[in-house]
């Protein structure tokens, strides 16, 4: 199904041997940048959001910079146009009138602990069926561990599955889209870095998806009430 593949950033160093994530802080960075590498494991995020339609993506930062040796003269990462990102788009929802649920798999909750769960490797993210979810780096202060990515079939997304009808669709497509976004950015928005929600694109797209979901639900309630009033006349 177009636009429905749930993709995640997998750092090259995730595995049995474990991973070491950078830690983040907030501060002043050079003009035009949204982050600056202060040391081999320390990234400082800008306290000033990007402007003029540009964005700062933690996912893209990890892909381009941290794990793939992005370098700049002053060790900065720039604000980029959204077109530069392999980004999540509302177009994914707009192609549907109803959201396709996929198939819910059994025993996809964590074997031990609950979300959000720290991890040093995928082995810390074992699921009840014996498989493993991904241990991915988040945007956090001090803590160099990763975060277990939740499986879409887990209890964390019970509301999503409760909305799925017998035909395999969610009538409120915007609700389906919101939870698909949450699954993809979950490890990045579990952040204790105070400037991250105002700066990072992953927070923005999740907030926009939630607003759209809530607006659609309110519109649905109003239409239902209108239908009851009309039928009563």
* Least-confidence region, from 56-60, 74-78, 149-153, 161-165: 74-78
Tell me what pLDDT residue 131 has: 98
Paired residues of 117 in beta bridges: none
| Tokens linked to 127 | 């699921």
Q: What are phi and psi of 101, to 5 degrees?
A: -80, -20
Preceding amide of 179 cis, omega within 30: no
Residue 212 exposed, middle or buried by CB count within 10 Å (0-12, 13-18, 19+): middle
| Tokens linked to 109 | 């909750």
Measure the CA–CA gap between 148 and 145, rounded to whole angstroms: 10
Tell me what pLDDT residue 223 has: 35
Measure the CA–CA gap between 149 and 119, rounded to whole angstroms: 10
DSSP H or E stretch at residue 93: helix 91-94
54-55 vs 99-100, strand pairing mode: unpaired
In the predicted model, what is the mean pLDDT of residues 133-137?
A: 95
Question: Among positive and negative, which fits the CA dihedral 25, 29, 35, 38?
Answer: negative
Residue 5, pLDDT > 60, answer no
* Count of other CB atoms within 10 angstroms of residue 114: 12
- What are the tens digits of pLDDT across the range 23-74? 999 999 998 899 998 887 899 999 999 987 888 999 888 887 665 455 556 7
Sketch the domain layout of the chain as residue ranges. 23-232
| Tokens linked to 84 | 């530069």
């Amino acid at each position: 199904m177009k636009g429905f593949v749930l993709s995640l950033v997998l750092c090259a160093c995730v595995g049995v041997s474990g991973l070491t994530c950078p830690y983040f802080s907030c501060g002043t960075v050079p003009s035009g940048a949204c982050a600056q590498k202060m040391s081999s494991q320390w990234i400082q995020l800008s306290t000033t959001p990007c402007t003029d339609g540009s964005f700062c993506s933690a996912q893209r930062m990890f892909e381009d910079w941290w794990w793939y040796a992005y370098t700049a003269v002053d060790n900065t990462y720039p604000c980029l146009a959204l077109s530069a990102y392999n980004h999540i788009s509302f177009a994914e929802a707009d192609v549907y009138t109803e959201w396709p649920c996929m198939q819910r798999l059994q025993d996809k909750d964590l074997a031990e602990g609950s979300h959000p769960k720290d991890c040093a490797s995928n082995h810390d993210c074992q699921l009840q069926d014996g498989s493993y979810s991904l241990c991915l780096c988040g945007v956090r202060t001090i803590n160099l561990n990763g975060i277990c990515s939740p499986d879409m079939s887990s209890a964390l997304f019970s509301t999503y599955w409760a909305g799925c009808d017998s035909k395999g669709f969610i009538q409120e497509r915007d609700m389906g889209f919101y939870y698909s976004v949450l699954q993809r950015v979950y490890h990045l928005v579990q952040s204790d870095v105070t400037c991250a929600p105002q700066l990072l694109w992953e927070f923005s797209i999740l907030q926009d998806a939630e607003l759209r979901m809530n607006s659609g639900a309110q519109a649905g309630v109003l239409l239902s009430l209108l239908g009851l009033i009309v039928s009563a006349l």
